[in-house]
Amino acid sequence: MSHPRTAPALAAAALLLAATACTTGGDATRPAPTPATTVAVTGPLCAALPIGSEPGNPAFLAGQPADQALTWMPTLTTFEAALRTSGALTGLDTTGGITILAPTDDAFAATFSDDTWDTLMTRDHQKLRTLVDAHLITGVHTTDQLATAGTTRTRDGTTLTVTRTGPTTRFGDRADAVCADYQATGARIHIIDTVLGPLPATADGTGHRAH
């Protein structure tokens, strides 16, 4: 039996343990909360895209596969559809990393007429695949890394020059990154304002084509 003089000490110890359990939520094995992922995207279009806690925000997309991340970007519906229709999506192996230069819907509307685009999407899938491959780069690369290298090679075999003027990164002397450095699982996504690739423009400049 405990000595009477030890009772106060035992009571104090019990109170200390109870206080500790309350402080830790009563579960000493509970893991500490994981800090939220912070992803910095840059470019003039970023302000029009989801931010903060909105669905499709950069931190949320960082945990998504590349093909799923694209579906959350409201300005990339045409490119996302082309990626799927061309068959490139099934071969989009991100194990070694992939960088995607994704043209906006407006960029496609300014490049292709309704008839030309419908033909690509319904019949000329080989040409469509070549067009999509012109926007894919093997490996995960930030715009800083691409600009420092000065050139990059797309999956269709084209060598693109990459230049930096102030905050703007330009690809192939044609396309500017308008919201760059999105992260996805095994991927980087840079939204650009012009369609790359060898196919000639056929739009009349009105940008009327429905997406």
pLDDT tens-digit series, residues 108-130: 999 999 999 999 999 999 999 99
Q: What is the pLDDT, as a whole number, of residue 95?
A: 75
Mean pLDDT is highest, among 21-25, 32-36, 86-90, 147-151, for: 147-151
Does residue 4 register a pLDDT over 50?
A: no
Lowest mean pLDDT segment, chosen from 5-14, 66-75, 78-87: 5-14
Q: Which range is least confidently modeled, 3-7, 97-101, 169-173?
A: 3-7
Average pLDDT for 79-96:
84
159 near 151, Cβ under 8 Å? yes
- What confidence tens digit (pLDDT) does each residue in 125-165 have? 999 999 999 999 999 999 999 999 999 999 999 999 999 99
Let me know: does 155 contact 123? Beta carbons within 8 Å. Answer: no
The rounded distance, in Å, linking the Cα atoms of 61 and 74 is 13
**Mean pLDDT, to the nearest integer, of 79-84?**
95
Work out the number of other CB atoms within 10 angstroms of the CB of residue 179: 24
Angle at CA of residue 197, ends 174 and 142, nearest 5°: 65
Domains in the chain and their CATH numbers?
A: 44-192 (2.30.180.10)
Q: What is the pTM of this model?
A: 0.80
pLDDT value at 21 more than 50 = no
Q: If you ran DSSP here, which 8-state letter would residue 200 be given?
A: P
Residue 3 scores a pLDDT above 50: no
Task: Work out the angle between the directed axes of helices 114-122 and 125-133 (0-180°, nearest 10).
Answer: 100
For residue 95 the two structure tokens come to 């194990």
Instruction: Provide mean pLDDT across the span 95-112.
Output: 95
Which is nearest to 166 in space by CA: 149, 147, 193? 147
Residue 192 pLDDT more than 90?
A: yes
Identify each DSSP E strand in 48-116 by its residue range: 98-103
Q: Can you tell me whether residue 54 is helix, strand or coil?
A: coil
With 90 as the cut, is the pLDDT of residue 16 above it?
no
Helix (H) or strand (E) holding 37: none
Q: Is the pLDDT of residue 208 over 60?
A: no
